[in-house]
Amino acid sequence: MSTLKNDRYLRALLKQPVDTTPIWIMRQAGRYLPEYRATRAKAGSFMDLCKNPDLACEVTLQPLERYDLDAAILFSDILTIPDAMGLGLYFEEGEGPKFKEVIASTADVEALGVPDPEQELKYVMDAVRVIRRELDGRVPLIGFSGSPWTLATYMVEGGSSKDFGKVKGMMYDNPTALHMLLDKLADSVILYLNAQIAAGAQAVQIFDTWGGSLTPQTFQEFSLRYMEKIVAGLTKEADGREVPVVLFTKGGGQWLELIADTGCNAVGLDWTINIADARKRVGSQVAIQGNMDPCVLYASPDVIEDTVKQILSDYGTGNGHIFNLGHGIHQHINPDNVKVLVDAVHQHGRQYHS
């Protein structure tokens, strides 16, 4: 493996000194880029793109050509595990993900196996290997997975949901079945992320996109507990470096202390919390990733730059800040604004590092 030329992102996750604040952007390889749309058109469906390691590599690297980003993230979907379990993931144009099979009973859960990442999910590991080779040490590669709770919501609802009636119905009425499902998912995520690390991922992030739909008590019992199990089961080191793990619970601002206590290295924030408050609450324990409202990218360059300066200043001097949006970048923003964002973070970040 080639030497890592830019390790700002990895160092910041471990709260080590850096020259300026690193930045990457959730969903940085995506539909807002014309070159992504071109590759996607060439690939066929969204899942065809995910399952083709060379094309997945192509779109992973596209944003790095345009912007001075400090990390690449594997191009894939959060629902590859349930798909590998046999549920039949598909996407209808203009709609969210859907499954052909849904999980509705204890028997459905019992019938599920734990996928072997180098078999049913080999296309993901191949993509990691190709991307890592093509990156050639330019920046680190982030692997990722959905959290067990987030995966379970799609598996029980059969797709996206507004109010999670089915999966929460199971949670309140048949918690034993849901715990069995979550435990299988946690085991699957551990194998999946460890295989990504073995294939070349240098940090991993768990996306708990729907954790914020829970109550404080059910969040701990049905989401956090399984993320904690995953953190404990992950490979700690690769290529002689620590492999940091980031937990991102959208809507989890009220539970930062609980999230930080899982043993993760960093906590991802959405935009509903001031990063200064987050640092006061958990900054002595973990690094913090975030947290600009993605909608700021609809504004003019000076508004974007002012917002960057405010967030950097709110976090303040010292280690442990990774700049990001509070959620994935939107499809309809102007790609030129992303350059403004990335350059502003690096330029104005310097003063907070010595």
Q: Which span sits near a second copy by CB under 8 A: 83-91, 247-255, 260-268, 339-347?
A: 247-255
d(C-alpha 108, C-alpha 51), whole Å: 26
Say if residue 299 is exposed, middle or buried (CB neighbours under 10 Å; 0-12, 13-18, 19+): middle
Helices in the chain by DSSP H: which ranges? Answer: 8-13, 34-43, 46-50, 53-66, 80-82, 106-110, 122-135, 148-157, 165-173, 175-199, 216-218, 225-233, 256-260, 275-282, 301-315, 335-349
Q: How many residues in the shown chain lie near a second copy by CB under 8 A?
A: 34
d(C-alpha 32, C-alpha 117), whole Å: 30
Question: How big is the chain by its Cα radius of gyration, in Å?
Answer: 19
d(C-alpha 193, C-alpha 135), whole Å: 19
Residue 218 within binding range of a second copy, rule CB under 8 A: yes
CB of 230 to a second copy, least distance (A): 23
d(C-alpha 294, C-alpha 338), whole Å: 10
Nearer to a second copy, 6 or 218 (CB): 218
From the list 61, 102, 258, 273, which residue makes contact with a second copy (rule: CB under 8 A)?
273
Residue 14 within binding range of a second copy, rule CB under 8 A: no
Nearest alpha carbon to residue 182 among 210, 231, 224: 224
40 is catalytic: yes
Q: Which residue has the tokens 């099979």?
A: 101
Residues 284-303 that bind a second copy (CB under 8 A): 293-296, 298-300, 303
Residue 251 within binding range of a second copy, rule CB under 8 A: yes
Binding mask 300-329 for a second copy (x = CB under 8 A): x--x---x----------------------
CB of 206 to a second copy, least distance (A): 20
Nearer to a second copy, 298 or 352 (CB): 298
First to last CA, the chain: 30
CB of 299 to a second copy, least distance (A): 4
Binding mask 27-66 for a second copy (x = CB under 8 A): ----------------------------------------
8 is catalytic: no
CB of 195 to a second copy, least distance (A): 32
Nearer to a second copy, 7 or 157 (CB): 157
CB of 7 to a second copy, least distance (A): 30
133 is catalytic: no
Nearer to a second copy, 225 or 330 (CB): 330
Nearer to a second copy, 132 or 168 (CB): 168
343 is catalytic: no
Q: What is the dihedral of CA 311, 312, 314, 317, to 10 degrees?
A: 170
Q: Decide: 319 and 14 in contact? Cβ < 8 Å.
A: no
Long-range CB pairs of 212-220, under 8 A, 24+ apart, other chains included: 212/249, 212/250, 212/251, 212/252, 212/270, 213/153, 213/164, 213/168, 213/251, 214/149, 216/254, 216/255, 218/171, 219/249, 219/252, 219/255, 219/258, 220/255, 220/258
Q: Which residue has the tokens 């849904």?
A: 102
77 is catalytic: yes
CB of 300 to a second copy, least distance (A): 6
CB of 270 to a second copy, least distance (A): 9
Residue 92 within binding range of a second copy, rule CB under 8 A: no
Chain contacts with a second copy (rule: CB under 8 A): 163-165, 168-169, 171-173, 212-218, 251, 253-254, 271-274, 277, 293-296, 298-300, 303, 307, 330, 332
Mind telling me the catalytic residues?
27, 31, 40, 77, 154
